[in-house]
C-alpha cells in the first residue's frame, strides 16, 4: 500500500502517513472559538485540512474527521457581557455563521463537530485521572493546574527545553500555582461567569483540556493526525499532548500537521492585531470560491500574504478553468474528431497531480497540474473524439473535486427560455430573416446573453 508523505511537526520530517488501521484515518482539527465571524487566517486550516481529507478519501480511504467548536472562552464571555446577553447566545450565533462560511467554502461536513460545553463529563474524568496520578492539583481558589515539570516529555512537539520555557513563564494575578510552568485544566468561576459543578467547585474547563477530551471521546485515546495553525503548536498542542498522554498512558497523536500563517503586510492576520478581513466580507466582494482557491494556491506550510488584488486574480484564474470546462462540454456535444492524444495528456496531468499531493499536500503544484490540463484541453479538444473528450472531462472534474473547486458549475445554467430564443434565432438566420435574427439577438443581449456563431453551431455565453 502506497501512502502520501506529510511533514510531521513532531519529528520535523516528511514521513509516510501510515494510519493505525490501513484504509482509515482518524483526524482531529482544532476549530474556531465562536465569538465573531471567522477571518481569512482562520479559513486557512479549514480549507487546507478539508483538502487533505478529500485527497485521502479520493485515494480510497475512510476518514473520520473531527473538528471542534470552542463554545466557552473568556472572549465569548466578554462579548456576551458587552452585548448584555449570555455566552451561549453568542456561541450559537457565531457557530451558525461559521457553518455558513464553511458551506460557502465548499468544506465537506465533518464526521462530528463536538462542542466543549457538551463534553464537561469527559473533561472532568481526564482531570480526575490526572489528579489521581499526581499530574494535576486543585488549588484553594477552585482552579486545577497541570504539573508541567512532572511530565518528562513536555516540550516534545515544540522542541523546547524546559529551561527556555521557564524564562517566559509567569504567575498571573489571582493564580495560585506551584510552578510558573503549570497551566490551568479547570478554572474556578468568578461571580457572574458561567459555571459547571465539579469535585473542585464550580468552574469551567481550560482551553487545552477541551481538545484532549473531545479527541478521546470521538476518535479514541490515540489518533492518527492532529492539525491546526502553527500558532497552536505552543502552548495549545503541547499542553494537549501532556494532558492526554499523562492521563491515558499512550501516544496522543501519531502525526502532527500545522499550516503556516496567512499574513497581511507580512504580519499574522489576527483579531488581536485588528488587521483582519472576515471571510464574509471578502466573499461579499469576490465570492467564496476565489478564497478557497487562494488558500490552496500556496503550500500549506509557507506563509501566504493576503491582498485584495491576489484574491481577485484567483477569481480570474478560476474563470479560466470554468471556461475551459464549459468549452469541453460544448466540444463533447459537437465532437467530430477521432484523436485520443488528449487522454494521454490528461492521464499525465493526473499523475502529476497525485505526485504533488502525495508530496506533503502540495496543492500549489496540484493546481498547476490542473491548469496544464486546461491548456491541453484548449489546444486538443477540436481534434479529439467524443469518447476521449468525455473521459477527459471526467478526469478534470475528478481533480477539481479533490481540491474542492469548480463547485459552482451549473449554478448559472442557461435558462430554457434563453435556449429557446437562441434556437429561434438560428431558425431565422437559416430562413435568411435577418431582421428577426437581429431582434432576437438584441433581446438575448438585454437578458445578459450573447450568441456566438461557431463552426459547430451557435453557442450561448453569459455576459
Ligand atoms: P482561533 O479561533 O484563533 O483559535 O483559530 C482557529 C484556527 O485558525 C486555528 O487553527 C489557528 O491556528 C488558525 N489561525 C488563526 N489565525 C491564523 C492566521 N493568520 N493564519 C493561519 N491560520 C490561522
Ligand atoms: Zn485544540
Together in a domain, 333 and 226:
no
The answer to whether position 335 is within a domain reads: yes
Lowest mean pLDDT among 4-8, 118-122, 169-173, 425-429: 169-173
The answer to whether position 359 is within a domain reads: yes
Torsion from C-alpha of 293, 299, 303, 305, nearest 10 degrees: -30
371 has pLDDT over 90:
yes
CA-nearest residue, atom 9 of ligand 1: 229
Q: Which ligand is nearest to the CA of 46?
A: 1
Give the DSSP H/E element, type plus range, for residue 460.
strand 457-462
For residue 238, the model assigns a pLDDT of 98
* Mutation choice for ligand 1 from 45, 68, 266, CB with most ligand atoms inside 8 A: 45
| Average pLDDT in the chain | 95
262 has pLDDT over 80:
yes
Q: Ligand 2 centre from 356 Cα, in Å?
A: 28
45 in contact with ligand 1, CB cutoff 6 A:
yes
For residue 211, the model assigns a pLDDT of 98
For residue 168, the model assigns a pLDDT of 76
The answer to whether position 309 is within a domain reads: no
Together in a domain, 275 and 383:
no
19 in contact with ligand 1, CB cutoff 6 A:
no
Together in a domain, 271 and 394:
no
Q: Are 102 and 65 in contact (CB under 8 A)?
A: no
The three cell numbers of residue 430 are 437559416
Q: Are 387 and 323 in contact (CB under 8 A)?
A: no
Together in a domain, 276 and 424:
no
* Mutation choice for ligand 1 from 30, 36, 41, CB with most ligand atoms inside 8 A: 41
270 in contact with ligand 1, CB cutoff 6 A:
yes
How far out from the chain centre does Cα 207 lie?
Answer: 21
Give the DSSP H/E element, type plus range, for residue 19.
none
Q: Are 153 and 144 in contact (CB under 8 A)?
A: no
**Stated length of the chain:** 463
Q: Ligand 1 centre from 278 Cα, in Å?
A: 12
| CATH number for the domain that contains residue 198 | 3.40.50.620
For residue 292, the model assigns a pLDDT of 98
Q: Which ligand is nearest to the CA of 264?
A: 1
Strand 136-138, strand 144-146: pairing: antiparallel
Question: Which residue spans within 35-182 are E strands per DSSP?
Answer: 62-67, 136-138, 144-146
Domain extent, residue 458, equals 416-462
Identify the three-state secondary structure at position 429.
helix
For residue 407, the model assigns a pLDDT of 96
Together in a domain, 320 and 380:
yes
The answer to whether position 6 is within a domain reads: no
119 in contact with ligand 1, CB cutoff 6 A:
no
451 has pLDDT over 90:
no
268 in contact with ligand 1, CB cutoff 6 A:
yes
For residue 169, the model assigns a pLDDT of 81
Together in a domain, 263 and 331:
no
Residue from 60, 52, 3, 59 nearest 28 by CA: 52
| CATH number for the domain that contains residue 372 | 1.20.120.640
How many independent structural domains does the chain possess? 3
Together in a domain, 347 and 443:
no
pLDDT > 90: percent of the chain: 87
Residue from 237, 292, 241 nearest 108 by CA: 292
CA-nearest residue, atom 7 of ligand 1: 42
The three cell numbers of residue 225 are 493526525
As a whole number, mean pLDDT of residues 102-113 equals 98
Together in a domain, 344 and 388:
yes
pLDDT band at residue 198, thresholds of 50, 70 and 90? very high
As a whole number, mean pLDDT of residues 163-173 equals 82
> Higher-confidence residue: 454 or 293?
293
**Which residues are within 8 A (CB) of 411 and not within 5 positions of it... i.e. 6 or more apart?**
none
Together in a domain, 97 and 198:
yes
For residue 420, the model assigns a pLDDT of 86
For residue 68, the model assigns a pLDDT of 98
256 in contact with ligand 1, CB cutoff 6 A:
no
Together in a domain, 55 and 163:
yes
Together in a domain, 187 and 226:
yes
pLDDT band at residue 449, thresholds of 50, 70 and 90? confident
Report the phi/psi class of residue 274: left, alpha or beta, with left for phi > 0 and alpha for psi in -120 to 50. left
Together in a domain, 79 and 199:
yes
57 has pLDDT over 90:
yes
For residue 380, the model assigns a pLDDT of 97
68 in contact with ligand 1, CB cutoff 6 A:
no
pLDDT band at residue 327, thresholds of 50, 70 and 90? very high
* Mutation choice for ligand 1 from 231, 273, 274, CB with most ligand atoms inside 8 A: 231
- Report the distance separating Cα 238 and Cα 242, nearest Å: 6
As a whole number, mean pLDDT of residues 54-67 equals 98
Strand 62-67, strand 223-229: pairing: unpaired
The answer to whether position 407 is within a domain reads: no
- Cα separation values, 256 from 10, 49, 174, Å: 6, 12, 34
The residues pairing with 112 across neighbouring beta strands, listed in sequence order, are 66
pLDDT band at residue 184, thresholds of 50, 70 and 90? very high
413 has pLDDT over 80:
no
The answer to whether position 244 is within a domain reads: yes
Question: ∠ at Cα 261 (48, 106), nearest 5°?
Answer: 25
- Report the distance separating Cα 271 and Cα 294, nearest Å: 20
265 has pLDDT over 80:
yes
249 has pLDDT over 90:
yes
pLDDT band at residue 454, thresholds of 50, 70 and 90? confident
Q: Ligand 1 centre from 29 Cα, in Å?
A: 11
Stated pTM of the model: 0.90
pLDDT band at residue 227, thresholds of 50, 70 and 90? very high
> Higher-confidence residue: 209 or 414?
209
- Report the distance separating Cα 284 and Cα 100, nearest Å: 13
CA-nearest residue, atom 18 of ligand 1: 41
375 has pLDDT over 90:
yes
The answer to whether position 322 is within a domain reads: yes
232 in contact with ligand 1, CB cutoff 6 A:
yes
Amino acid at each position: 500500500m502506497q501512502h502520501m508523505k506529510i511533514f510531521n511537526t513532531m519529528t520535523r520530517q516528511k514521513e509516510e502517513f501510515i494510519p493505525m488501521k490501513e484504509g482509515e484515518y482518524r483526524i482531529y482539527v482544532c476549530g474556531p472559538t465562536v465569538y465573531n465571524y471567522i477571518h481569512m487566517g482562520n479559513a486557512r486550516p479549514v480549507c487546507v485540512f478539508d483538502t487533505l481529507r478529500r485527497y485521502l478519501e479520493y485515494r480510497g480511504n475512510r476518514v473520520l474527521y473531527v473538528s471542534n467548536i470552542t463554545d466557552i472562552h473568556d472572549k465569548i464571555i466578554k462579548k456576551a457581557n458587552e452585548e448584555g446577553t449570555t455566552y451561549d447566545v453568542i456561541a450559537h450565533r457565531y457557530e451558525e455563521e461559521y457553518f455558513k462560511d464553511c458551506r460557502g467554502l465548499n468544506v465537506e461536513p465533518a464526521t462530528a463537530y463536538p462542542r466543549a460545553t457538551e463534553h464537561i463529563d469527559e473533561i472532568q474524568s481526564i482531570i480526575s485521572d490526572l489528579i489521581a496520578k499526581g499530574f494535576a492539583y486543585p488549588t484553594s481558589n477552585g482552579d486545577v493546574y497541570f504539573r508541567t515539570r512532572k511530565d518528562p516529555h513536555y516540550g516534545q512537539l515544540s522542541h523546547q527545553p524546559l529551561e527556555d520555557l521557564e524564562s517566559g513563564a509567569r504567575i498571573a494575578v489571582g493564580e495560585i500555582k506551584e510552578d510558573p510552568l503549570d497551566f490551568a485544566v479547570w478554572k474556578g468561576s468568578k461571580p457572574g461567569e458561567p459555571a459547571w459543578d465539579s469535585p473542585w467547585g464550580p468552574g469551567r474547563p481550560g482551553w487545552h483540556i477541551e481538545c484532549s477530551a473531545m479527541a478521546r471521546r470521538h476518535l479514541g485515546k490515540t489518533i492518527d493526525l492532529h492539525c491546526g495553525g502553527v500558532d497552536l503548536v505552543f502552548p495549545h498542542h503541547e499542553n494537549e499532548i501532556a494532558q492526554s498522554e499523562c492521563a491515558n498512558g499512550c501516544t496522543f497523536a501519531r502525526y502532527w500537521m500545522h499550516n503556516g500563517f496567512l499574513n497581511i503586510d507580512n504580519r499574522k492576520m489576527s483579531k488581536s492585531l485588528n488587521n483582519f478581513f472576515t471571510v464574509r466580507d471578502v466573499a461579499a466582494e469576490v465570492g467564496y470560491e476565489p478564497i478557497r482557491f487562494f488558500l490552496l494556491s500556496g503550500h500549506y506550510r509557507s506563509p501566504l500574504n493576503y491582498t485584495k488584488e491576489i484574491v481577485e486574480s484567483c477569481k480570474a484564474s478560476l474563470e479560466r478553468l470554468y471556461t475551459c470546462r464549459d468549452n469541453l462540454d460544448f466540444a463533447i456535444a459537437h465532437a467530430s474528431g477521432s484523436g485520443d492524444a488528449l487522454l494521454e495528456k490528461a492521464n499525465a496531468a493526473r499523475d502529476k497531480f497525485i505526485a504533488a499531493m502525495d508530496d506533503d499536500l502540495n496543492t500549489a503544484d496540484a493546481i498547476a497540474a490542473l491548469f496544464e490540463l486546461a491548456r491541453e484541453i484548449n489546444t486538443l479538444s477540436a481534434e479529439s473524439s467524443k469518447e476521449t473528450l468525455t473521459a477527459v472531462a471526467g478526469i478534470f472534474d475528478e481533480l477539481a473535486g479533490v481540491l474542492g473547486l469548480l463547485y459552482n458549475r451549473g449554478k448559472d445554467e442557461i435558462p430554457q427560455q434563453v435556449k429557446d430564443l437562441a434556437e429561434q434565432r438560428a431558425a431565422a438566420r437559416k430562413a435568411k430573416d435577418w431582421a428577426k435574427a437581429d431582434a432576437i439577438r438584441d433581446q438575448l443581449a438585454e437578458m445578459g446573453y450573447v450568441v456566438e456563431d461557431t463552426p459547430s453551431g451557435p453557442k450561448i455565453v453569459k455576459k
